[in-house]
């Protein structure tokens, strides 16, 4: 976990601070906090649906202690609406200003030692890409906009921006701290109302400048859409290389936009089905070393892993409970595959299913009370739901074809799954099995995973003929389909929660 200090407010009142926090604000941020006009409640932005209320407040801090900007799992907000409600809203994002262009150890696109001026432009570019790629907005980035003087960061030239037909304006600053850290602040302004809608400020190591951009994009997204954030999150997946008959599969992680990619395992043992823990500290995954399945928990901060399950029986699909105390996994014994639950700290496993055939792929509901899973006990792959203790098992998919790899939405209102009827397509349904609809229409799309706010579904696609695999995502409207960049073939994506 990196040291990120976050301060956010949408009304001109400082967000609450932990009792031990020490106030640390840049002069321009202090000016913004003291601005009289911001002491009044801010009116909602024009042309934004009524649901676009301020995002849930992030934990605020002004000293070098970890702070969380993520809403609790039971506080997810938002709904699926017509994209046109936002796409007509112009958002101008000029390069972030700096008080003095000072060198930093940060790197951008392979170039290291960049100054705060270059970082200010890079941060604005990442924010622009985040807001554009989610499909709700059509922002204008720094390459098409004038540079904002540092003195205007907290006092925008509203008349000038109105002349450019800007509806919303994002302005910010990047300042090199005396202790080697980087101070980044940004604000969202309504140009017509000439008001600041929300602001956030962060202190972090220069190497993590992209996180500042994602946090700023999260703040803007939540304020304008009324939905919970998701940009400052990471994705674990299986990186695939080599010929089809001798495939190397390694565990890899990257930012939600594909940046900061790194391989976790060497490829000496096959890695499969990674999943982030709810507290973002660990990744559970399956490894086959010398043909023997092992379930590992990898600690992200220490780069160490520990063995949780070792067996001679085929083992599949580890999944975390919402409280992070248990892992589900599937194991095949004597021709039947059943779902088990094991404490993360170790101990005996509890068998949850006991039927002939294959039961696999459990996924908890956000409240931890139910589990959705796949079973062929009826003669073909279908989706079932059971209570967390294994009781009340019942089939919910009755719409023809086969259904596999179910994954419960973090909002709790939908289940994503792979529908198999000729082609493999990503679909969603309600937890009672009704209202099934497709999100994709390709040859082979499978293994859905949800964004932290439950608006976007990610999956992997296999190309017909070549067999190459890649990670894609689509939103719940079935639009804004796009491929994520990876250096090699990619499968089994797992989208983690918003980073603390």
Domain identity same for 167 and 91: yes
Write down which residue in 206, 225, 244 finishes a domain. Answer: 225
Name residue 342's beta-bridge partners: 327
Measured from the Cβ of residue 261, the count of other Cβ atoms closer than 10 Å reads 16
Going by the DSSP 8-state scheme, the letter that residue 171 receives in this structure is E
CATH code of the domain in which 276 resides: 2.120.10.30
| DSSP state letters, 118-144 | HHHHHHHHHHHHHHHHTSS-EEE-GGG
Residue 467 to residues 174, 232, 256, 461: CA-CA distances in angstroms? 45, 31, 24, 9
Domain identity same for 238 and 338: yes
What the block records as the tokens of 406 is 């179910």
Angstrom distance (rounded) from CA 39 to CA 11:
6
Q: Per-residue pLDDT for 281 more than 80?
A: yes
Residue indicated by tokens 């949850």: 352
Domain identity same for 221 and 328: no
Q: Per-residue pLDDT for 389 more than 90?
A: yes
Q: Per-residue pLDDT for 66 more than 80?
A: no
* pLDDT for the residue numbered 177: 92
Angstrom distance (rounded) from CA 170 to CA 189:
6
Angstrom distance (rounded) from CA 162 to CA 90:
11
Upper half-sphere CA count for residue 59 (Cβ side, 13 Å): 16
- Three-state DSSP class for residue 421: strand
Burial call 474-483: b when 16+ CB within 10 Å, e when fewer: bbbebebbee
Angstrom distance (rounded) from CA 90 to CA 131:
11
Domain identity same for 128 and 268: no
Measured from the Cβ of residue 371, the count of other Cβ atoms closer than 10 Å reads 27
**Range of weakest confidence among 12-21, 240-249, 318-327, 483-492:** 12-21
Structural contact between residues 494 and 236, judged by C-beta atoms closer than 8 angstroms: yes
What the block records as the tokens of 74 is 């039971």
Structural contact between residues 438 and 426, judged by C-beta atoms closer than 8 angstroms: yes
CATH code of the domain in which 121 resides: 3.40.50.10070
Write down which residue in 203, 225, 247 finishes a domain. Answer: 225
Domain identity same for 260 and 203: no
* pLDDT for the residue numbered 17: 32
Residue indicated by tokens 């929300």: 198
Q: Which domain holds residue 352?
A: 233-498
Write down which residue in 163, 193, 225 finishes a domain. Answer: 225
Better pLDDT: 20 or 363: 363
Structural contact between residues 324 and 337, judged by C-beta atoms closer than 8 angstroms: no
The count of domains in the chain is 2
Domain identity same for 220 and 239: no
Domain identity same for 133 and 264: no
* pLDDT for the residue numbered 315: 93
Domain identity same for 367 and 436: yes
Q: Per residue in 113-133, pLDDT tens?
A: 889 999 999 999 999 999 999
pTM for the model stands at 0.83
- Three-state DSSP class for residue 481: coil
Q: Per-residue pLDDT for 498 more than 90?
A: yes
- Three-state DSSP class for residue 332: strand
Domain identity same for 220 and 254: no
Q: Per residue in 4-59, pLDDT tens?
A: 444 454 543 333 333 332 223 344 444 333 333 322 233 333 332 323 333 333 33
Domain identity same for 188 and 254: no
Domain identity same for 212 and 355: no
Q: Per residue in 97-114, pLDDT tens?
A: 999 999 999 988 777 888
Upper half-sphere CA count for residue 369 (Cβ side, 13 Å): 3
Q: What phi and psi values does residue 488 have, to the nearest 5 degrees?
A: -140, 180
Mean pLDDT of the chain: 85
Domain identity same for 212 and 283: no
Q: Per residue in 77-96, pLDDT tens?
A: 555 544 555 555 789 999 99
């Amino acid at each position: 976990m990196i040291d990120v200090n976050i301060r956010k407010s949408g009304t001109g009142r400082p967000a609450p601070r932990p009792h031990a926090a020490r106030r640390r604000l840049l002069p321009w941020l202090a000016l913004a906090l003291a601005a009289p006009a911001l002491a009044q409640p801010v009116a909602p932005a024009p042309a934004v649906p009524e649901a676009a209320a301020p995002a849930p407040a992030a934990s605020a801090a002004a000293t070098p202690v970890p702070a969380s900007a993520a809403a609790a799992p039971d506080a997810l907000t938002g709904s699926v609406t017509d994209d046109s409600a936002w796409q007509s809203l112009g958002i101008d994002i000029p390069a972030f200003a700096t008080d003095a262009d000072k060198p930093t150890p940060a790197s951008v696109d392979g170039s290291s030692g960049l100054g705060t001026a270059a970082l200010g432009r890079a941060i604005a570019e990442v924010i622009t890409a985040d807001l554009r790629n989610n499909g709700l907005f059509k922002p204008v980035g720094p390459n098409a906009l004038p540079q904002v003087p540092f003195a205007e960061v907290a006092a925008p030239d509203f008349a000038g921006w109105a002349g450019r037909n800007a509806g919303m304006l994002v302005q910010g600053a990047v300042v090199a701290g005396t202790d080697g850290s980087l101070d980044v602040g940004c604000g969202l302004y309504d140009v017509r109302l000439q008001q600041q809608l929300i602001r956030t400020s962060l202190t972090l190591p220069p190497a993590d400048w992209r996180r500042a951009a994602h946090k700023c994009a999260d703040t803007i997204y939540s304020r304008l859409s009324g939905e919970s954030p998701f940009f400052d999150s990471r994705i674990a997946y299986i990186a695939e290389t080599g010929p089809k008959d001798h495939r190397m599969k390694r565990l890899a992680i990257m930012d939600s936009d594909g940046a900061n990619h790194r391989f976790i395992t060497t490829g000496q043992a096959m890695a499969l089905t990674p999943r982030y823990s709810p507290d973002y500290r660990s990744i559970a995954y399956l490894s086959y070393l010398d043909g023997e399945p092992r379930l590992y928990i990898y600690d992200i901060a220490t780069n160490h892993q520990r063995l949780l399950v070792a067996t001679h029986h085929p083992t599949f699909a580890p999944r975390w409970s919402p409280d992070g105390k248990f892992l589900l996994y599937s194991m095949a014994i004597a021709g039947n595959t059943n779902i088990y639950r094991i404490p993360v700290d170790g101990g005996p496993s509890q068998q949850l299913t006991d039927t002939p055939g294959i039961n696999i792929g459990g996924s908890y509901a956000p409240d931890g009370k139910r589990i959705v899973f796949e079973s062929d006990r009826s003669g073909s792959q279908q989706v079932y739901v059971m209570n967390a203790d294994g009781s009340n098992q019942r089939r919910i998919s009755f719409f023809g074809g086969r259904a596999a790899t179910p994954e419960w939405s973090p909002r709790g209102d939908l289940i994503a799954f792979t529908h198999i009827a000729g082609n493999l397509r990503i679909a969603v349904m309600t937890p009672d099995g009704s209202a099934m609809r497709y999100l994709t229409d390709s040859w082979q799309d499978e293994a859905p995973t949800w964004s932290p706010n439950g608006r976007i579904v990610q999956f992997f696609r296999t190309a017909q003929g070549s067999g190459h695999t890649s990670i894609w995502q689509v939103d719940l409207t079935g639009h804004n389909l796009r491929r994520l960049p990876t250096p090699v073939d990619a499968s089994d994506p797992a989208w983690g929660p918003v980073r603390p």
